[in-house]
Amino acid sequence: MIITVAGEKKEYKEGLSLVELIELEKIDMPEYVTVSINDDFVSSEDKETTVLKEGDSVEFLYFMGGGC
């Protein structure tokens, strides 16, 4: 199946879970990453059970603190 990951179309096996994708993409600090699929945020509890499907668009977001 073809999905878009961080703006790039990639091919993966059918039935790929979000956790598997995070591992395959070698995401740094996966416990701190926020994931959106098709512009909908995935809750931390749902990461384990979310299965991707053809045409999904996945983004990995890190929220950084800071300021002056």
pLDDT of residue 31: 87
For residue range 1-60, list pLDDT tens digits in order: 999 999 999 999 999 999 999 999 999 888 889 999 999 999 989 999 999 999 999 999
Q: Is residue 67 part of a domain?
A: no
Q: Is residue 45 part of a domain?
A: yes
Q: Is residue 63 predicted with pLDDT exceeding 90?
A: no
Reported pTM = 0.88
d(CA 41, CA 25): 18
CATH number at residue 43: 3.10.20.30
Structural domain boundaries, residue 33: 2-61
d(CA 5, CA 19): 14
Q: Is residue 25 part of a domain?
A: yes
d(CA 58, CA 52): 9
